[in-house]
């Protein structure tokens, strides 16, 4: 019952509530972005959502225009020149994520669920195993079980395993636990940098080939 009805009800109710409460912050951040760097206020990017459907995720822009696929590609290095000064602050505080409240209203996302991966990273949808595709049985979230169990320090195969575990054990008390753990990690800014390998060549995580911080 929670998974089929109440979870969506809570998503819509709190998304509307937070949009109203945070509207002054939306306006302030938008003005600062317009005054400090060229480009749109909102950054839109293709992500894989529920059922493998591709949708546009919304974020406040933190990088210079057309810099996503330059330099380190989908990974950011420490003090990456592609990130604006204000963008560094938005990333550090996770404020760049709050436009995803509108993704929740649209039905693309939930507050809590597996983070939606890029359409091409760590691999395309067709390359996920049937077991891994279970993470797409629910709406992706702003935060999730993988985010509170290592976040960006965890190699992708492990992240996906954590996401699948969440889908198989989804319940109200688990979502509440994730919510509180997320608040703690945001305020401590912990696990916000990739350390070591983040993508393995082998699906079992035996080998790795990429390092750095994820966009």
Dihedral of the alpha carbons of 18, 90, 143, 194, in degrees to the nearest 10: 180
Cis peptide before 122 (omega within 30 of 0): yes
pLDDT at 154: 87
Q: Please, is 21 exposed, middle or buried when counting C-beta atoms within 10 Å of its C-beta (0-12, 13-18, 19+)?
A: exposed
Angle among Cα 124, 162, 118 to the nearest 5 degrees reads: 25
- Asked if residue 168 lies in contact with residue 3, where contact means CB atoms within 8 angstroms, the answer is no
Residue 45 tokens read as: 């990017």
Q: How many C-beta neighbours within 10 Å does residue 61 have?
A: 22
pLDDT at 199: 63
Give the residue carrying structure tokens 């077991």: 131
Question: Of the candidates 186, 194, 133, which has an alpha carbon nearest to the alpha carbon of residue 163?
Answer: 133
Low-confidence stretches of the chain (pLDDT < 70) are 67-79, 189-215
Question: Of the candidates 103, 124, 123, 126, which has an alpha carbon nearest to the alpha carbon of residue 113?
Answer: 103
pLDDT at 50: 98
Residue 8: alpha-carbon gap to chain centroid: 19
pLDDT at 66: 73
Q: Per-residue DSSP letters for 141-179?
A: EEE-TTTTTTGGGS-HHHHHHHHHHHHHT--HHHHHHHH
pLDDT at 188: 78
């Amino acid at each position: 019952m929670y998974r089929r009805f109440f979870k969506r009800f809570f998503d819509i109710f709190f998304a509307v509530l937070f949009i109203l409460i945070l509207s002054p912050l939306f306006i302030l951040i938008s003005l600062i972005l317009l005054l400090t760097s060229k480009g749109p206020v909102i950054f839109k990017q293709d992500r894989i959502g529920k059922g493998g459907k591709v949708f546009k995720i919304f974020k406040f822009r933190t990088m210079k225009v057309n810099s996503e696929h330059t330099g380190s590609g989908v990974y950011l290095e420490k003090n990456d020149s592609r990130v604006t000064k204000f963008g560094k602050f938005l990333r550090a505080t996770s404020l760049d994520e709050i436009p995803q409240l509108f993704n929740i209203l649209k039905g693309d996302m939930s507050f809590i669920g597996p983070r939606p991966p890029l359409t091409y990273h760590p691999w395309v949808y067709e390359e996920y195993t049937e077991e891994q595709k279970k993470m797409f049985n629910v709406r992706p979230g702003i935060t999730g079980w993988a985010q509170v169990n290592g976040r960006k320090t965890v190699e992708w195969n492990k992240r996906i395993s954590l996401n699948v575990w969440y889908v198989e054990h989804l319940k109200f008390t688990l979502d509440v636990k994730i919510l509180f753990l997320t608040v703690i990690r945001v305020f401590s800014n912990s696990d916000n940098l990739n350390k070591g390998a983040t993508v393995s060549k082998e699906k079992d995580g035996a080998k790795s080939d990429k390092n750095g911080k994820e966009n």
